[in-house]
Structure 1
Amino acid sequence: MSRKTIVLSGINFSEGGPLTIYKECLRCVEEYLLKDYEIIALVHNKELFSEFDSRIRFIEFKDSKKSYLKRIYYEYIYFKKLSKKFKPYLWFSLHDMTPNVTADKRVVYCHNPMMFYNMTKEERKKSFKLFLFSKFYKYIYKINIKKNNYVIVQQDWIREEFKKAFKIKNVIVAHPEVNLGNLKINKNIEIEKNSFLYPSFPRVFKNFEVICEATKILENKGIKNLKVYLTIDGSENIYSKEIVEKYSQLECIEFIGLQSRENLMKYYNKVETVVFPSKIETWGLPITEAKELRKKIILANLPYAHETLGDYENVFFFDPNSSRDLAEKMELVIKGENIKFDGNIEKNIEEPYCNNWKELFEIILKK
């Protein structure tokens, strides 16, 4: 009896988080599905996947990132022909777009939450391209979305938004498997008292302004016994350049620039508190890392932050639009006497819901 075919598609993944997600998916497939299914993986570059079992058939699309038109051609025209050729049991699109394909089961994994973020006028000016992108994404998601057996998102709040926006019910919440194996806890490093770290790449929704303004408020009150480390230095983009120019006079902020993983771990180990004021995320990896390292944490009071954090005691939440609120929370940490944290309780998420790729494939492939 011939084995059924599963097609995995991620032709635009070539670096960073998305590539990591694809590889985690393939590791699960390699371990649990290869004996029962033929696996075809559509990729941008086969060389990026050299560590995988030779029984997985990789087909590369090296020109997929040349233009968005090329991507659209593949998703909505070429993949139709390919699906007729392979006759897959499951076509699993790992990157947001629901292609025109023929398959017994169709699934799409939706990563990007930007369509649910209302950018301010100031943010639009700073990053008009991101504003257009956020509006465009709604239509990209909408094409063919109701033809899927399942739509996968990373958090419950995104599921609720998808249900409202697209009038669908078949949405799985799949919390990402976060590999914390490279988190090297060094107990020999002395904690720097009243130190704060915000590790993030500078994009307008990352909200670096709020922590800079909060620090300014503290300095104006004469509170200067603190150090705030920000992983920007002004060289990354226009947004970071504006931030550094505007706040470089503050004594208590150190703009350390983007860090290697090894260097970032040194900062993680030595700081007392991790701050994460981002206005929108699908997950927010530094939250998970700070929790693992048992740091004091100050988070934007938004659904993604509560869901990512889960059960944790030493956390404050603040209004991400209020630098004064953040300054108050930072001051409580600096004073350090009988701190009464807000704490957080893990959210109870309704089915369908899973915590790893194995559980996700069990839901998807269930007959």
Structure 2
Amino acid sequence: MKKTIVVSAINFTSGGPLSILKESLAELSQNFAANYRVIALVNSKELLSFDNIELIAFPYSKKSWLIRMYYEYIYFYFLSIKLKPDFWVSLHDMSPNVKCKNRFVYCHNPSPFYESKKTDWYKNTKAYLFSKFYKYLYGINIKKNTYVIVQQSWLRDYFISNWSLSNVIVAYPHVVINSLDKDQYQIGVDTSNKPLEFFYPSFPRPFKNFEIICEAYSLMSEGYRNQIKVYLTLNLELNSYATEIVNKYKHLPGIVFLGLLSRDEVENYYTKADCLIFSSKLETWGLPITEFKSTGKPILLANLPYAKETLGNYDKVSFFDINNPEELKSKMIGILENQPIFVKNRKVDVRQPFTEGWPELFNLILENENR
């Protein structure tokens, strides 16, 4: 009789979280479903198509936090008694109340670790409350897990420090880029026939720190601004934080507010842009860093541990203070003028337990059936 794996991700409906769900289920479908019964608890069956994975939909899970907590801490307990799983993998940060010998939680949302300011309440009230509330949800049942899974070493240290855990896996994501060709790029950027183009793709939340890029551009003389374009994934409709940024800087023609982009559109801008700027104050990974690294083109990066660990080995990077737009301005001009601003970044040595990609992670956690 096959052992049963339950994967819980009832709030994943778009963006990076949905990609995490699809990639994990694709791995289970291809390499594990022949030997295990795999059940996925999802928001909508229409978002997924895996013939050998059973889907149970919870379409009301995103209606309110009370409904979400009811599922996580009450309903799932009785569902686990019914399904009798051997493994329960919660992909969205919360450790549910379930009856299962081998329990795992995958923590990848950075909001609880962001030190919100009072001004963030006005910029994005939902994100502000979320960051305050979610810290407590992280801690519920966390010590009942066989393993807690995080994406970087600094997060493991945080979990160990806050909850005295000794069972935290660092699991690097495996990123596949489909359409990027780095052979055409070089450190020296030719701007003789076009402006120098910078790109920062991210969903607008206060900790994403879009304002430092806009402010750095605004501090430039008109001569430099005429030679530079900045592409940002904001528009007026997304949220109050995005609205504030757009209204403040829309008078600058060199800043282009694109709105949210599809996956293919993001990759097209990776190809088009001369340089990535990644100014976020906090990430559990920083996926655009890994994706853009595949182009071999220059990167301007927040001078923070998460960014350096995400980047790994790379020679075309320059780091800037996330609170210093004047420094970022100088770095942007430095690339325009082919100044020697780049430094070498080297990968972090990660202690065990450590995995890279879904195959290694599932092989590690499913070993528990032999314990």
Q: State which of 298, 317, 321 in structure 1 corresponds to 2:319.
A: 317
Q: State which of 302, 305, 320 in structure 2 corresponds to 1:303.
A: 305
Aligned pairs for 1:10-21 (under 5 A) are 10-21=9-20
Distance (Å, rounded) in 2 between the aligned partners of 1:208 and 1:332? 20
Structure 1 residue 221 displacement after superposition: 8.3
User: Secondary structure of the equivalent of 2:314?
Assistant: coil
Structure 1, residues 296-341: CA drift from partner, whole Å, max 9, x if none? 100111111111111000000001011011112112112214x141
Distance (Å, rounded) in 2 between the aligned partners of 1:166 and 1:196? 40
User: Residues 229, 44 of structure 1: CA spacing in aligned structure 2 closer, same or farther, 3 A cutoff?
Assistant: closer
The 8 Å contact of residues 44 and 64 in structure 1, kept in 2 or not, is answered as yes
User: Secondary structure of the equivalent of 1:69?
Assistant: helix
Structure 1, residues 49-93: CA drift from partner, whole Å, max 9, x if none? 22x123x22222222222221221111112111212222211111
TM-score by length of 1: 0.92
* 1:365 aligned residue: 366
User: Any unmatched runs of 5+ in structure 1?
Assistant: none
Aligned pairs for 1:208-357 (under 5 A) are 208-219=210-221, 224-337=226-339, 339-357=340-358
Q: State which of 86, 90, 93 in structure 2 corresponds to 1:93.
A: 90
TM-score by length of 2: 0.91
Structure 1, residues 101-129: CA drift from partner, whole Å, max 9, x if none? 11121111112121211122322332232
Bigger CA drift: 276-285 or 255-264?
255-264
Task: Specify the code of the residue in structure 2 equivalent to 1:53.
Answer: D
The 8 Å contact of residues 107 and 150 in structure 2, kept in 1 or not, is answered as yes
Task: Specify the code of the residue in structure 2 equivalent to 1:276.
Answer: F
* 2:51 aligned residue: 53
The 8 Å contact of residues 300 and 319 in structure 1, kept in 2 or not, is answered as yes
- Work out whether 1:6 is the aligned partner of 2:8: no
User: Secondary structure of the equivalent of 1:151?
Assistant: strand
Distance (Å, rounded) in 2 between the aligned partners of 1:53 and 1:223? 53
User: Residues 256, 22 of structure 1: CA spacing in aligned structure 2 closer, same or farther, 3 A cutoff?
Assistant: closer
* 1:135 aligned residue: 132
Give the CA RMSD over aligned residues: 2.2
Q: State which of 134, 156, 170 in structure 2 corresponds to 1:159.
A: 156
User: Secondary structure of the equivalent of 2:119?
Assistant: helix
Task: Specify the code of the residue in structure 2 equivalent to 1:357.
Answer: W
Bigger CA drift: 123-132 or 100-109?
123-132
Structure 1, residues 187-236: CA drift from partner, whole Å, max 9, x if none? 59x87452212222222111111011111222278664222222223332
User: Residues 222, 26 of structure 1: CA spacing in aligned structure 2 closer, same or farther, 3 A cutoff?
Assistant: closer
Identity value in percent? 51
The 8 Å contact of residues 183 and 289 in structure 1, kept in 2 or not, is answered as no
The 8 Å contact of residues 299 and 318 in structure 1, kept in 2 or not, is answered as yes
Q: State which of 106, 110, 113 in structure 2 corresponds to 1:109.
A: 106
The 8 Å contact of residues 85 and 100 in structure 2, kept in 1 or not, is answered as yes
Give the paired residue count.
362
Structure 1 residue 242 displacement after superposition: 1.6
Structure 1 residue 177 displacement after superposition: 2.0
The 8 Å contact of residues 298 and 329 in structure 1, kept in 2 or not, is answered as yes
